Chain A
Amino acid sequence: MNKKTRSLIQRMTLTPYSIWAALFIVVPLIFVAYYAFTDNSFRFTFDNITRFFTATSQIDDGESVREVRTYLVIFMRSLKLAVISTFICLLMGYPLAYIMARAKARTQSILLTLIMIPMWMNFLIRTYAWMTILQDTGILNSFLSALHLGRIHIIGTESAVVIGMVYDYFPYMVLPIYSVMAKLDVRLLEAASDLGCPAVSVLRRVIWPLSLPGVLSGVTMVLIPSISTFYISQKLGNGKFFLIGDAIEGQYVANNLHFAAAIAFILMVILLACMALVQKLANRKIIVA
């Protein structure tokens, strides 16, 4: 086969994917941008963007009435909950990934399956399940009162939202870290301990830096969906914690497509900028440290 035909075949096999990508990724993105920068009669405008940063509303906390920038407050709240969830996922997922990677092959595949089984169930059903567990008269509280430990009120709090997010996105943290850890050469760990490192140092100086790529993709895969989630906060937060995803959904349902697109567009730009920054810092750390 000569070079020309080979490259032709290569191009032909790529074509379906290129078309798919163009139709379902690039075109929608262009539409989002287009809607974000136009008004209802499709004339170019920055109004939607400025509205995101300037729109205000009043918060009455019982004593006084404060005026706040609506969408910035919502965004910061989303960011806070997403960061907390991601951090908890990392805290729980990293040791698990390490233990899995070091376990026997059989144990590894059992653990892997256990982690993935929830992913096969519908996301809505999982969230409803957590509602039944966390309700004031739910499974958790029945259990606690049966043990005479009293009841806790958790549904409708930020904690409930965080629990839901952690549960839903946990596998996306564990799997990328696990795949990096599994490839880690055991002899590097032996070499580190040979060179005088106790276990903690081996973790800090060898395992952690070498697993950083997995951590980064895990963080990305948890942070991004949890920052833009809307369903979990509605169901587990009793609608009290309006998140940026809820805002987009609300505007969309209210047929306010242009503003909904603008919020989505701004969110995307901010996330891309953050990820680029983190990636850059991590790259530098990997090479120099």
Chain B
Amino acid sequence: MKKIIELKNITKAFDGDVVLDHINLDIYDNEFLTLLGPSGCGKTTTLRIIGGFETADEGDVIFMGENINELPPHKRNVNTVFQRYALFPHLNVFENVAFSLREKKMPKDEINKKVTEMLALVALKGFEKRSVSSLSGGQQQRVAIARALVNQPKVLLLDEPLAALDLKLRKDMQVELKNIQKATGITFVFVTHDQEEALSMSDTVVVMSEGRIQQIGTPVDIYNEPENAFVADFIGESNILDGVMLEDRKVSFAGHVFPCVDSGFERREPVDVVVRPEDVDIVSEEKGQLRGVVTSVTFLGVHYEIIVDISGFKWMIQTTDFHDVDEHVGLFIEPDAIHIMKKSKYSGMFGDYSSFSDEMDEIGEVELEVLEEMETESESGHE
């Protein structure tokens, strides 16, 4: 595979706040790469440095072997789909898409042909003459993609392009974006804070936090072999416990010694242990490696989410079997369900579900309110 973009030791600070801290990243031809992380982790700044809208304080941006640190955006062979699209309000759909072609002084019939092709690709045939303000969010999104792709860039940068869409539309657009990427063969660099989106669309996921890259890998690697507690917690649900590696393939945590499949640690090295909620089996008390009491049960359709208190640490377990609150149960964990991580500065910050139910209630309420607001907004927007 051919490297198309290399970021070397990129550092960037705004007013003394370090936003990017020695970022090193290779982006390969034809891949769908996602920068994933919570807000403020530096993912958008990374994208803007590739696009040329920010300059790094230190480090180099290499594009197809050439250093493009000083190259202004209009000379870079990359295009951007902006957050909230940034369509030109004084131009109609056709002219928005034709914008870059007109700048190149391309002949009229060629512009016509290309724009028509692009609009067909994003399923907006027949919208040429419409004003962009009359389009729905999803349609504006497609215009933004068509406008960026018509130039046939080597790389397309997408800055949270789906964040403003409602859930259903977002799912559809995820599939569509992936199809467009495959059809055009253009490298996509996609920024999101939505881990599900990142896992379902990407070839490579780059997890970022506090201006540093935490892990680079395929979605499966990132999920199954998280590098540290931050990644384990940010991607999916995890129980993260303090443990001690006794010897190769033998780890002690929660007052019990478990066989596992990891090796290569020091003898008696303190480690973080990750167990995914779907990998824990609930068995009868006497058959369990660990024993505890069910403290809460939530029915989620496909499975139950059960919180089990084991000597003070609350485990989250996802299972299709029902267990009632206050039931005494045993837990059984297969060796290959245990993942061992080196200690990091994130150790102890994540992975205990003690405050889980309260927290979830609050988040749930806020989300409901936001959703309601968005609905009323979109209703009034349609009028």
Contacts and interface: CB of A to CB of B under 8 A. Distances in A.
B53 A198 contact: no
Nearest to A186: B86
7 interchain residue pairs of minimum CB distance = A195-B100, A187-B86, A191-B86, A193-B73, A196-B103, A193-B74, A194-B80
B364 to A, nearest CB: 33
Given A195-B99, A195-B151, A286 B90 contact: yes
B51 interface: yes
Contacts of A209: 90
A199 to B, nearest CB: 9
Interface in A251-289: 286-287, 289
A289 B89 CA distance: 11
Interface string A181-192: 000010110111
A79 interface: no
Interface residues of A, number: 20
A197 B79 contact: no
Contacts, number: 61
Contacts of A205: 99, 103
Most buried by A among B80, B84, B95, B131: B80
A210 interface: yes
A185 B86 contact: yes
A113 interface: no
A192 B103 CA distance: 10
Contacts of A196: 74, 100, 103-104, 151
Interface residues of B, number: 26
A185 B84 CA distance: 11
Interface of B: 51-53, 72-74, 79-80, 82-84, 86-91, 95, 99-100, 103-104, 131, 147-148, 151
A286 B92 CA distance: 10
A201 interface: yes
A83 interface: no
A245 to B, nearest CB: 37
Contact of B74 (A194, A210, A287): A194
A188 B53 CA distance: 12
Contacts of B103: 195-197, 201, 205
A206 interface: yes
Contacts of B100: 195-196
Contacts of B90: 209-210, 286-287, 289
25 contacts: A187-B82, A187-B83, A187-B84, A188-B86, A190-B53, A190-B82, A190-B86, A191-B87, A192-B88, A193-B72, A193-B74, A194-B79, A194-B80, A194-B148, A195-B103, A195-B148, A196-B74, A196-B151, A197-B103, A198-B74, A205-B99, A205-B103, A206-B88, A210-B89, A210-B90
Contacts of A190: 53, 73, 80, 82, 86
Given A190-B80, A190-B82, 17 more contacts: A185-B86, A187-B82, A188-B88, A191-B87, A191-B88, A192-B99, A193-B72, A193-B74, A194-B52, A194-B73, A194-B74, A196-B74, A196-B100, A197-B103, A209-B90, A287-B90, A289-B91
Contacts of B95: 289
B114 to A, nearest CB: 13
B221 to A, nearest CB: 32
A187 B100 CA distance: 16
A192 B99 CA distance: 8
Contacts of B86: 185, 187-188, 190-191
A43 B379 CA distance: 61
Nearest to A189: B86
B48 to A, nearest CB: 9
A287 B151 CA distance: 24
Contacts of B73: 190, 193-194
B89 A197 contact: no
B132 to A, nearest CB: 11
A127 to B, nearest CB: 40
Nearest to A202: B74
Nearest to A191: B86
A77 B79 CA distance: 52
Contacts of A287: 90, 131
A199 B90 CA distance: 18
A205 B98 CA distance: 12
Nearest to A212: B90
Contacts of B151: 195-196
Nearest to B78: A194
B131 A191 contact: no
Contacts of B74: 193-198
A194 B144 CA distance: 12
B241 to A, nearest CB: 45
Interface string A206-242: 1001100000000000000000000000000000000
Nearest to B150: A195
Contacts of B82: 187, 190-191
